Structure 1
Amino acid sequence: MATGTDSRPRPIWIMHFTHIDNLPRILKAGRLFSDAGVGPQLSTNVGAVEIKTHRRHRPVPCPPGGVVADYVPFYFAPCSPMMFRIACDHREGRQGCYPGGDDPLVYLLSTVEEVHAAGLPWVASDGNCAAGLTTFSTDFDELATLVDWPLMRAKVWKDIPEDMDRKRRRAAEFLVHREFPLHLLAGYAVRTAERREEVRQVLHDAGMIEPYVDVRPNWYYGYTRREVR
């Protein structure tokens, strides 16, 4: 369960990831759109169809309301359960899933404080938005105890016998209603130096002179495809 003390980081970093192929269109639009409003912006969709379908029907019980798919999703920590699934789907070569793994994914980084100061409507969750017991809040001060901050800092987040709710809590989200303007970004992060150069080139092509792109291999799983015997 979330801790009762205020152990949140300052600032509170939030991260959205997307496939590198999607960056040119995102940069051209100047914003990220919610799943319900993204239209043709995504060249490569890494999300699972069943999860996206569920998010289109999961109500958000506090203002501005709507459903989860009406919001641009951010996580509070890297190596999320969703990224783990993407990496495992690649490793196992699962049919019907996005096949490329997590290496081509790019983190877009901002902070709760930036979003809050900009006056954008947002909602935070204490865990996976698809889970029925997940709760939501729009109170900035409630973030101190809503999110399990020690778990966000942990490298291993899997469920254990004495706490079978860790995976759900690690998937806590910060949801920005409808769209997120890119001028609120602090920078980008990728898995390798080679990816950094690719992303820098995409950003330069979009007119960004000195884009900040960091290499964070520990934010990825990086599984390789298993051999079929």
Structure 2
Amino acid sequence: MSVSVSHITHIDNLASIIGQNCLWSDAKRIELGLLNQNIGYSHIKARRLQKPVNVASGGMIGEYVPFNFCPRSVMLYVIHRRHKDFDGGQERVLHLISDTDTVRSTNQHCFFTDIHADLDYAEQIDDFTRISELDIQRIINERYWQDFKEEKQAEFLAYESVQWRAINRIGVRSQAVADEVHVLLQLARYKPLVEVRPEWYY
């Protein structure tokens, strides 16, 4: 059972992703000294660099590339409302869309969690026959998630990197941003489909 997954990033990071031909984990990006427009909470990213993984390839959560099982994530809402580490809003945030089978075909060291991976009581699972245990339709994709905020933040994580060619679509909020993405994709040998999907935003 393959499940769609979504990684959010700022459009300012797209040229680097194309140039590197992959999405790097935070730990690897720091090791390589690559510049990055951070849109998340810095303290959570720092904490994930120290939080152990007991399945897949082990290591720390920050050594894995994170995906949600839905667009319009809880973190995107935080970005939309603006926070102390990023006040740029959601307009120029991209959804990089793939699916679990495609990522796993190029990276065997993956796992998923039943809730936000940063929580101490999140279950780390690398038995992908169990992925059907996630209630993707009724909870994770639910538009109004106040009653199950943690479950909506279940994560799919891939060790160290995800190849650029594993991204099959890029979702954007407006045609203006789509036009910018198309310009950046002129530099790429592989060009995912670009879709204007305002329903994926707040």
Which TM bucket (shorter chain)?
over 0.9
State whether structure 2 residue 122 is matched by structure 1 residue 134.
Answer: yes
Residue 30 of structure 1: aligned partner: 21
Superposed displacement of residue 24, structure 1: 0.5
Indicate which of 191, 198, 202 corresponds to 1:217. Answer: 198
Whole-Å Cα distance in 1 between the matches of residues 25 and 36 of structure 2?
15
Query: Shift in Å at residue 19 of structure 1?
Result: 0.4
Q: 2:80 aligns with which of 53, 77, 87?
A: 87
TM-score (norm 2): 0.93
State how far apart, in whole Å, the 1-side matches of 2:149 and 2:96 are. 22
Aligned to 1:162: none
> How far does residue 211 in structure 1 lie from its aligned partner after superposition?
4.0
Counterparts of residues 114-129 of structure 1 (less than 5 Å): 114-129=102-117
**In the superposition, relative to structure 1, how do residues 196 and 66 fare at CA in structure 2: closer, same or farther (>3 Å)?**
same
Q: Which has the larger radius of gyration?
A: 1
Once the two structures are superposed, the pairs formed by residues 1-229 of structure 1 within 5 Å of their partners are: 11-39=2-30, 40-89=33-82, 94=83, 96-145=84-133, 147-149=134-136, 150-159=138-147, 166-208=148-190, 211-221=192-202
| Cα 1:60–1:211 shift into 2, 3 Å | closer
Q: Amino acid of the residue matched to residue 34 of structure 2?
A: Q
Gapped runs of 5+ residues in structure 2? Answer: none
Query: CA contact under 8 A between 2:3 and 2:100: conserved in structure 1?
Result: yes
Q: Quick one: distance in 2 between partners of 1:109 and 1:156?
A: 21
CA distance in 2, matches of 1:213, 1:220: 15
Q: Distance in 1 between matches of 2:107 and 2:115?
A: 24
Deviations for 1:47-100, whole angstroms, at most 9, x for unmatched residues? 2111112111211121311111010001101111111111112xxxx5x32111
- Over the matched positions of the two proteins, sequence identity in percent amounts to 31
In 1, Cα distance between the equivalents of 2:139 and 2:186? 36
Runs of 4+ in structure 1 off by over 4 angstroms are none
Q: Match of 2:95, SS?
A: strand
Q: Give the letter for the 1:73 counterpart.
A: P
Measure how far apart 1:167 and its partner are: 0.7
In the TM superposition, what whole-angstrom CA distance separates every residue of 1:180-229 from its partner, at most 9, and x where no partner exists? 11111112110011111110110113345x641001101111xxxxxxxx
Greater helix fraction, Structure 1 or Structure 2? 2
Give TM-score scaled by structure 1 length: 0.82
- What is the CA deviation profile of residues 17-70 of structure 1, one whole-angstrom value per residue up to 9, with x for unaligned ones? 110011111100000110111134343111211111211121112131111101
Q: Which moved more, 1:188-197 or 1:41-50?
A: 41-50
In 1, are the aligned partners of 2:167 and 2:192 still within 8 Å (CA)?
no
Q: CA RMSD in A?
A: 1.5
Q: For the residues of structure 2 that align with 1:206 and 1:63, how far apart are their CA atoms?
A: 31
**Residues in 1 aligned to 2:119 and 2:195: alpha-carbon distance in whole angstroms:** 33
Q: Is the 8 A contact 1:22 1:41 kept in 2?
A: no
Structure 1 residues 211 and 138, CA gap change in structure 2 (3 angstroms): closer
**Alpha-carbon distance in 2 for matches of 1:207, 1:195:** 20
2:107 and 2:162 in contact (8 A); partners too: no
